[in-house]
Structure 1
Amino acid sequence: MRHALTAGPLLDERGRLAEAGWATSEVRGYDRHAVAASRFRIKEWDYYCVLTQDVGLALTIADNGYLGLLGVSWLDFGARAEVTENVMLPFPMGSMGLPASADSGDVTAAHKGMRISFRHTDGGRSLRIDHPGFDGGRGLSGELVLAQPARDRMVVATPFPKAPKAFYYNQKINCLPASGEIVVGGRPFAFDPTSAFGVFDWGRGVWTYDNTWYWGSASGLVNGKPFGFNIGHGFGDTSAATENMVFVDGRAHKLDEVTFHLPDGTFDGAPWSFTSNDGRFEMTFEPILDRAASIDLVVLRSIQHQVFGRFSGHVILDDGGRIEVVDLLGFAEEVRNRW
């Protein structure tokens, strides 16, 4: 279990992480003005990924100090195809106004014909996208509303070795039922909350320059109840906490270490597998498509493989109960960054 976070400010009077650990709610308060590092090094992002059995939508608003980003991905699982388009904003350094809390504050960003907004609603969140130039002029627009009942989430605060001003503060909120419509190339795609689920990735921090991380996530229904998980490593020094959790009907079950076993060769070829040091999370993963992206600007480089597919296996809950998982839609990724 390692260390559970207590309530208080995220950073101390020197601008360093006050406490490392994990939680199931936002117990530590983030304040951008308390960060000791340069504005060029502060990284803030909101990322949503919403999946149905047939299609998916991912939206990003990120302020990474010297570079901002608006991103949209449209996923077609039947065709095993995806289109991702990003718009870069030079040197935003906090001007994009990403909120200090995952539970309050709205953000809207527009640049070069792409407009994205994330807003809080009564009992949920509204995601809007308008990108007339998407995919060579096909266009992509619409709104999804994610319901957010009172449920546990994954919260982690970790430092980085030998970098006292660096920290990673992250929240992942799984199992968000989605409703609404996205229109792509004039064709409407309906999102039904009984079969469409989203995950929200809220991150704030100061990262070291060269790092590699692994992240996996899935949300859906298992045995008629909301079920999901968040797994990953590479996010700083995890001696006090990992971000591995399983969620069943709104309650979190904390896991220790989960190892990603990637196949040799292509990321979307042979199955992946996942094992845990305590035997509580054992999964295989059948890839459907690889959302691969590579940005190389010499000093800034990002090589991403976010692979979408289906998880099968079992998890062991805190009370010893066992849940079998068959073909649960989600994703797993490897990302190598110099940023």
Structure 2
Amino acid sequence: MPVRPQPVSEREITAPVPLTSADGRLNPDAVGWTRTPLLTTDGVGRGRLGRGRNKRWEYWAVTTPTHVVALVTSDIDYAAVHGIWLLDRATGESVAHDAIGVTGRSATLPGTLGHGPVRSRTRRLRIDVEEVEGGTRLRASGPRVEVDVVAHRPEGHECLGVVVPWSDRLFQYTVKDVARPATGTIRLDGLAADVPAGESWATLDHGRGRWPYDVRWNWGAGAGRTDGHVVGIQVGGRWTDGTGSVENSLYVDGHLSKISEELVWDYDRDDWMAPWRVSGASVDLAFTPFHLRRSVTDLRVFASRTHQCFGHWAGRVRDDSGTWVRVADVVGWAEDVHNRW
């Protein structure tokens, strides 16, 4: 039988709430979604409950007319995984600076989003993320790449927060903040490239939780201008299936419309550069790749296989008023990931 989209019933959380109870288990009152970061997540990683399964990370991606840059700082309990990645869209050249620490000492991550700086410190790379007036400053340096970008936060800008419950011991709080206007400078081998206002966008993937060991997911995001509006796309799948939570939403000029259904992802694992399709009752999107980033890590206890395509989103998505919103020439990515961690 063909796969069909599945509606889910989700509740919006509108007041601050802790993610965990005093004993470290999932707080049932935290299960739902938000349009601003309302959850306190300081309890993740404390105590003996879930030891080895705690995951904390900040992933930022910036798209410009000429480049794509991605930064990651993470602590997955028994290791810290960091990275700077850059794509020159004109030449297709990509540069990766990666580092893995055997403990989390090389990573500085606040317990709760926005409650302190984010830092990576290794011999190979350096990342600094901090809140500044009107936005978030992203700085990074590696052997060939330097980044100094501000992800601006316009007044009234909304972002998606979702709690995904596998059980009272295993759960994830994710914040997907897309379509943040970006400005600044990127340098490759000392040559500076502008991050032009109005044409460049930053996206945050913030994660705090405790995960199953073996997990697969799809994630897609993008931002751009269509018909005079700033349009942001956020879609996901597989890892949330059956939990009653989904991480799907549409942004138009900073306003978030929640999409409460498990979407259908259709793509060719034998040809990653072929068009992808993501569909549902409220979503009809095509994704056309222009670059494939393939990454494989196997450290026995930790293994990761990622196929992340960068390209253009097009199609239409229904907003919370029931109106179909056209999507055209929205730059972003779609990925297929399998982790054992």
Instruction: Flag whether TM exceeds 0.5 (same fold).
Output: yes
- The residue number in structure 1 matching 2:4 is none
Q: Could you tell me how far 1:62 is from its partner in structure 2?
A: 0.5
Secondary structure class of the residue paired with 1:334: strand
Q: Could you tell me how far 1:261 is from its partner in structure 2?
A: 0.6
Q: Could you tell me how far 1:234 is from its partner in structure 2?
A: 2.8
Distance in structure 1 (CA, Å) of the matches to 2:289 and 2:318: 24
The answer to whether residue 267 in structure 2 is matched with residue 265 in structure 1 is: no
Q: Could you tell me how far 1:9 is from its partner in structure 2?
A: 1.1
- The residue number in structure 2 matching 1:285 is 287
**Could you tell which deviates more after superposition, 310-319 or 13-22?**
13-22
Secondary structure class of the residue paired with 1:165: coil
The answer to whether residue 64 in structure 2 is matched with residue 56 in structure 1 is: no
TM-score by length of 2: 0.91
Distance in structure 2 (CA, Å) of the matches to 1:75 and 1:7: 38
- The residue number in structure 1 matching 2:36 is 25
Q: Could you tell me how far 1:238 is from its partner in structure 2?
A: 4.9
Secondary structure class of the residue paired with 2:10: coil
Identity of aligned residues (%): 29
- The residue number in structure 2 matching 1:316 is 318
Relative distance call for 1:34 and 1:66 in structure 2 (3 A) is closer
The answer to whether residue 169 in structure 2 is matched with residue 124 in structure 1 is: no
* 1:66 aligns with one of 67, 78, 81: 78
CA contact (8 A) 2:108 2:120 kept: no
Secondary structure class of the residue paired with 2:199: coil
CA contact (8 A) 1:37 1:206 kept: no
Structure 2 unmatched ranges of 5 or more: 1-8
- The residue number in structure 2 matching 1:84 is 96
Count of matched residue positions in the alignment of Structure 1 and Structure 2: 327
Secondary structure class of the residue paired with 1:164: coil
CA contact (8 A) 1:11 1:35 kept: no
Distance in structure 2 (CA, Å) of the matches to 1:16 and 1:311: 38
- The residue number in structure 1 matching 2:197 is 193
Q: Could you tell me how far 1:166 is from its partner in structure 2?
A: 1.1
Give the residue type in structure 2 aligned to 1:119.
Answer: E
Distance in structure 2 (CA, Å) of the matches to 1:75 and 1:26: 30
- The residue number in structure 2 matching 1:159 is 165
TM-score by length of 1: 0.91
- The residue number in structure 2 matching 1:4 is 12
Give the residue type in structure 2 aligned to 1:13.
Answer: A
**Could you tell which deviates more after superposition, 256-265 or 167-176?**
256-265
Distance in structure 2 (CA, Å) of the matches to 1:223 and 1:236: 32
Deviations 1:22-65 (A, max 9, x none): 11112221113656534432110001000012211100000111
CA contact (8 A) 1:21 1:156 kept: yes
The root-mean-square deviation of aligned C-alpha atoms, in Å, is 1.7
- The residue number in structure 2 matching 1:333 is 335
Give the residue type in structure 2 aligned to 1:56.
Answer: V
Deviations 1:83-114 (A, max 9, x none): 2221111122x773301222331122210131
Distance in structure 2 (CA, Å) of the matches to 1:86 and 1:109: 11
- The residue number in structure 2 matching 1:136 is none
CA contact (8 A) 2:230 2:254 kept: yes
- The residue number in structure 2 matching 1:219 is 223
CA contact (8 A) 1:81 1:289 kept: no
Secondary structure class of the residue paired with 2:170: strand
CA contact (8 A) 2:283 2:316 kept: yes
- The residue number in structure 1 matching 2:6 is none
The answer to whether residue 109 in structure 2 is matched with residue 98 in structure 1 is: yes
Secondary structure class of the residue paired with 2:114: coil
CA contact (8 A) 1:13 1:34 kept: no
Q: Could you tell me how far 1:142 is from its partner in structure 2?
A: 3.1
CA contact (8 A) 1:3 1:240 kept: no
Distance in structure 2 (CA, Å) of the matches to 1:102 and 1:328: 27
